[in-house]
Amino acid sequence: MIRTRIIERINTPQDIVIPGGIYGTATVRLDFQELPSAGTVTFERRASYQGAWLPIQSGTNLSVTGAPVEVKFDGGVHLLRVTFTGLTGGMLPVLTIVETETATPPSFLLTDGGFGNAARLRVDNGQTGFFDRRMWDLTYEFSSTNPINSTPVVFRFVMPTNFIIHHHSLEVDSGGVVLRTYAESQGTPGGVFGTAVNLSSSNSMTEEPAYAFQSTVTTGGTFTPTPGVQPITLLRVRTAGATAQQNSVGGEAPSEKGRAPGIYYAVISRMSGVTGDSTGSYRMQAEERPQ
């Protein structure tokens, strides 16, 4: 699109409204029918919502005695300011704005809404699933009132969608435990998994609507792996044997893991050679990936 406008020969700012704004790349060209003998020109720009004028790069104090004068700028402009300084002579200054169509991403993909000198592609520090509120946290504490002893604690995960495990860890402050996870096809479940485990959202910000988690986690039953099968995840954590030397220790599964929909079991049992109660915590963070 080309816009042409005759402007005045005055040494005060002249503000020019650009109907509809410019969102691509544009060239501003200043011509005189008769060249001035002295003077400079400065170009500034502003979006409709901005209060301050911003200089156009390489568009400050340009001599007009050798017109035409040209400067370029990127989109996000609704107002253009032209200021002559020390203008002497010259006739009929004409301003021409030529807009070049460019592939501009939608404003929600850009910082500053696509306007301003700092506009750039927006990159959030985190997973897309985090900002979509599809990530949940599981935290289970096995304390002195519900320790791990001769009876393992078994979690049953019903996962209707593909999912990514971002974090999987054990921390023990007394004793020693082993975490083994399995797909249901790797063993035999038993008992009743009747106690629901709370899943809390990893993101409670209100930028996006709340997501209804499809996963469910319960405890109360048992799981007996088929002899010889290898667990999907294996973590072993143990504190020092002497009470005076015991410090909290932790173990974490390396890297992210992607899993298919299905039913899975996590078995936390007391480590062989450990007696008495083991206390600590079990944590997991997962991202649901619905189709």
> In which region does residue 194 sit, left (phi positive, over 0), alpha (psi from -120 to 50) or beta (all else)?
alpha
Report which of 274, 268, 269 is spatially closest to residue 240, judged by C-alpha positions.
274
User: How far, CA to CA in Å, does 189 sit from each of 102, 115, 183, 198, 280?
Assistant: 60, 58, 11, 21, 25
254 φ, ψ to 5°? -75, 140
What are the start-end ranges of the E strands in the chain? 2-6, 14-22, 25-46, 54-55, 62-63, 69-73, 77-100, 135-142, 153-159, 162-174, 176-183, 187-196, 200-201, 216-225, 233-238, 249-252, 257-259, 262-270, 279-289
pLDDT at residue 107 in the model: 59
Tell me which DSSP letter residue 279 carries. Answer: E
Given a contact cutoff of 8 angstroms between Cβ atoms, the answer to whether 72 and 80 are in contact is no
Q: Which domains does the chain have, with CATH numbers?
A: 2-114 (2.60.120), 128-289 (2.60.120)
| Cα–Cα dist 68/41, whole Å | 11
Residue 12 has pLDDT above 60, yes or no: yes
DSSP codes of every residue in 102-137: --PPPGGGBGGGG-STT--B---SS-HHHHTT-EEE
Q: For the chain, give the percent of residues with pLDDT over 70.
A: 86
Residues 6 or more apart in contact with residue 273 via CB below 8 angstroms: 176
Pair of tokens at residue 209: 């609507």
Structure confidence by residue, pLDDT tens digits, 246-289: 555 666 776 789 999 999 999 999 999 999 999 999 999 999 99
Tell me the per-residue pLDDT of 192-220, one tens digit each, with 9 for 90 and over. Answer: 999 999 999 999 998 888 999 999 999 99
State how far Cα 27 lies from the chain centre: 35
- CA 285 centroid distance within chain: 17
- φ, ψ (nearest 5 deg) of residue 34: -135, 125
Count CB neighbours of 122 within 10 A.
Answer: 14
H-type helices in 38-163, by residue range? 128-131
Give the pLDDT score at 267. Answer: 98
Mean pLDDT of 94-106: 76
Judge whether 16 and 96 are in contact, CB under 8 Å: no
Does pLDDT of 291 surpass 80?
no
Least confident of 19-23, 48-52, 97-101, 184-188: 48-52
- 240 has pLDDT over 80: no
